[in-house]
Structure 1
Amino acid sequence: MNWLMEFIATACFTGKLPKMPGTWGSIFAAILIYLFWIPNLKAQLLIIAITFILSVISSDYLAKKLGNKDPDEVVIDEVLGMEITFLGLNAYHNLKLVFLGLILFRVIDIMKPPPIRYFEKLPGGWGITIDDAIAGIIAALILRAIGGLL
C-alpha cells in the first residue's frame, strides 16, 4: 500500500525526476491528455473527480511520511491542474492546444497569483491539491480567452 500511495502522489514517479518535478508532472499529464483525453464532459468530470480524491489522499500521505508540508515530488496535483485546464475541451491529439495549456498552467502554477497562495495554507493534502486546482481554473479561463481571440 505504501508504494502505491507514493506511485500515485508522484504521478508514476515522474515527481522523482531531477530539477523540476512540477514541470515533469505537468508534462506527464500533457502527454496523457494528448493521447487519451476523452472529448466528453461527463467523462472528463469523472476523471477530474477521481484525480482530485487521489491527490488529496496520496499527497497527504506522502507529506506526512516525508515530514514536509508540500514535498516537491508530489505532482499528482499538477496532473489535476492540467486536467482542469482542459475541462470541456477536445485536446485529444491537438498538440498546439495541449502545448499552450501546458505553458499557461505552468506559468500560473509557478507565479501563484491571488487567490492561489491562500489555498496553499489549507491543511495537508487539501492545500497541496486545491492550489493547483485553482491554477488549473485560471489557466482554463485564459486558454478559452486566447482561443476566442484566435
Structure 2
Amino acid sequence: MKRLPIIPTMIATGFGAGFWPWGPGTAGAVLATSIWLVLSQFLMPTTTMLTTGVLIVVFTWLGTWATAKLTPHWGDDPSRVVIDEMIGVWVPLLLAYNWWTALTALFLFRFFDIVKPLGIRSLDRRKGAFWVMADDLLAGIYSAIVLAVIIYISSTWAR
C-alpha cells in the first residue's frame, strides 16, 4: 500500500482530530469551535467574523483538495475526514458572539449533520471530494438560520 500523503492527511483529519475513535466528526466540530472560541478572545467581533469567513473559504478549498488526494487510500467519505465538519460548524459560528451562542451553534450543527434533513442527505450521497464538504456546508447554513432565530427571539425577550 502506498504511503499516505502527510499534508492532505493533516488537513483532512483536522490535524488528527479525525483519528479520535469515539465520534471523529464531533471531535472535528469541537476542535473548530475551540479554535473559534480562542480567536474570539483575541479579536474584535467583526474581525472574528471575517476571520471565520476566511477559514470557511480557505479550508473548503484545502479540504476538497486533501479529500481528493486521500480518496484512493480511504474511499469516498471516510469518517477520518473531519475538515468538512470543521467548515460546517464555522458557518453558524459566523453569527456567534459569546460562548453560549458558540455552543448552541455546535449543537445545532451536529444535529443537522447527524440527522441530515432537508436535502443534506442527498448531498451526502453524492460522490466526489467537493460533495464531502457540501453536505456539511448545508448543515451549517441550516444551523445558522436556526441560530439567527434563537438570537432574535432571545434579544426580544431581553427587552
CA distance in 1, matches of 2:12, 2:52: 20
After TM superposition, give the deviation of residue 59 of structure 1 in Å: 1.6
Calculate the aligned-residue CA RMSD, in Å.
1.6
From 4, 29, 32, the counterpart of 1:29:
32
Consecutive unaligned residues in structure 2, runs of 5 or more = 155-159
CA distance in 2, matches of 1:55, 1:113: 23
* Alignment-derived partner of residue 99 in structure 2: 95
Percent identical residues = 30
From 131, 134, 142, the counterpart of 1:138:
142
Paired residues of 2:96 and 2:105 also in contact (CA < 8 A): no
From 134, 148, 151, the counterpart of 1:147:
151
Paired residues of 1:62 and 1:74 also in contact (CA < 8 A): no
CA distance in 1, matches of 2:72, 2:93: 30
CA distance in 2, matches of 1:90, 1:28: 16
Q: 1:30 to 1:43 in 2, by over 3 A?
A: closer
Which sits farther off after the overlay, 53-62 or 2-11? 53-62
Listed one character per residue, the Cα deviations across residues 107-130 of structure 1 (whole Å, up to 9, x for unaligned) are: 110000021112123332111100
* Alignment-derived partner of residue 108 in structure 1: 112
The residue type equivalent to 1:145 in the other structure is: V
* Alignment-derived partner of residue 52 in structure 1: 60
Instruction: Determine helix, strand or coil for the equivalent of 1:19.
Output: coil
CA distance in 2, matches of 1:130, 1:11: 17
1:117-136 to structure 2, matched below 5 A, reads 117-136=121-140
Instruction: Determine helix, strand or coil for the equivalent of 2:89.
Output: helix
CA distance in 2, matches of 1:120, 1:42: 28
* Alignment-derived partner of residue 157 in structure 2: none
After TM superposition, give the deviation of residue 46 of structure 1 in Å: 2.1
Consecutive unaligned residues in structure 1, runs of 5 or more = none
